[in-house]
Chains A and B, each alone.
Chain A
Amino acid sequence: DGGITQSPKYLFRKEGQNVTLSCEQNLNHDAMYWYRQDPGQGLRLIYYSQIVNDFQKGDIAEGYSVSREKKESFPLTVTSAQKNPTAFYLCASSTGGAGTDTQYFGPGTRLTVL
């Protein structure tokens, strides 16, 4: 089955630690996205990538980093510089960067900072 997988489903980290969230897709999509979801605030874009080896900052990139070395993978690192990292993180992909393209979402990773 084609789709997007995110791991782990739940993640706990201590303050001051970096943590990497995995996102893998087997849909052969060129574009991938990372969003952060907080209660009552909808989704906010962290980073996006329209092609391998290229990515751009979204609206809330501070304290996060990404890489896009392979078409199917777009890992997100939450660094210790992110002041409020506790949130639900969603990865998405689409066939390209066109405005009509549907974004397909993974099941999400819930990160909690202890």
Chain B
Amino acid sequence: GNSVTQMEGPVTLSEEAFLTINCTYTATGYPSLFWYVQYPGEGLQLLLKATKADDKGSNKGFEATYRKETTSFHLEKGSVQVSDSAVYFCALTDGSGNTGKLIFGQGTTLQVKP
């Protein structure tokens, strides 16, 4: 079945540093790819998504490109802020039919220091 692997955290950066969180996947067919963010004590919010190869999702300064050749969907931001501190989840569709089911990575904790 489909699966996703994220880089382990925690990731600690200084404010205005460049961020990369790696995400790779294995899948049959053509899954959709997502990045969700979870702030402390809250549910998940969609950050960005891409539904086909070479698509770039972007939101709030974050970007990720759907790379089929490297089966990757790395999250990047050019200059992080303290308010970006959160847990980031990479996810992809299950692939077992049109169910909308998502498979999540284990999450990567980002801490940004002033």
- Give the B-binding residues of A (Cβ under 8 A): 4, 6, 31, 33, 35, 40-45, 48, 50, 56, 58, 90, 92, 94, 96-108
Of all chain B residues, the one with the shortest Cβ separation from A91 is B43
Question: In the bound complex, do residue A103 and residue B100 qualify as a contact, i.e. CB atoms below 8 Å apart?
Answer: yes
Residues of A within 8 A of B107 (CB): 40, 42
Q: Mark B83-100 against chain A: 1 for CB-CB distance below 8 A, else 0.
A: 000000100011100111
Question: In the bound complex, do residue B32 and residue A100 qualify as a contact, i.e. CB atoms below 8 Å apart?
Answer: yes
Question: Given A50-B99, A107-B43, 16 other A-B contacts at CB below 8 A?
Answer: A4-B43, A42-B89, A42-B106, A43-B102, A43-B104, A48-B99, A50-B100, A56-B99, A97-B99, A99-B31, A100-B51, A100-B93, A101-B100, A102-B34, A103-B102, A105-B36
Selected from A40, A94, A99, the residue in CB contact (under 8 A) with B106 is: A40
Interface range for B: 20 to 34
Residues of A within 8 A of B49 (CB): 100, 102
Instruction: Let me know if B46 is at the binding interface, CB within 8 A.
Output: yes
Residues of B within 8 A of A92 (CB): 43-44
Question: In the bound complex, do residue B100 and residue A105 qualify as a contact, i.e. CB atoms below 8 Å apart?
Answer: no
A-B contact pairs, 28 of them (CB 8 A): A4-B43, A6-B43, A33-B101, A42-B107, A43-B44, A43-B89, A43-B102, A43-B104, A44-B104, A45-B101, A48-B99, A50-B99, A58-B101, A90-B43, A90-B44, A92-B43, A96-B100, A97-B98, A97-B99, A97-B100, A99-B93, A99-B99, A103-B46, A104-B46, A105-B43, A106-B43, A107-B43, A108-B43
Residues of B within 8 A of A35 (CB): 104
Residues of A within 8 A of B95 (CB): 99
Of all chain B residues, the one with the shortest Cβ separation from A41 is B106
Asked if A31 meets B89 with Cβ closer than 8 Å, knowing A40-B106, A99-B32, the reply is no
Question: In the bound complex, do residue A108 and residue B89 qualify as a contact, i.e. CB atoms below 8 Å apart?
Answer: no
Of all chain B residues, the one with the shortest Cβ separation from A108 is B43
Give the Cβ gap from B104 to chain A, nearest Cβ, in Å.
4
Of all chain B residues, the one with the shortest Cβ separation from A107 is B43
Question: In the bound complex, do residue A99 and residue B43 qualify as a contact, i.e. CB atoms below 8 Å apart?
Answer: no
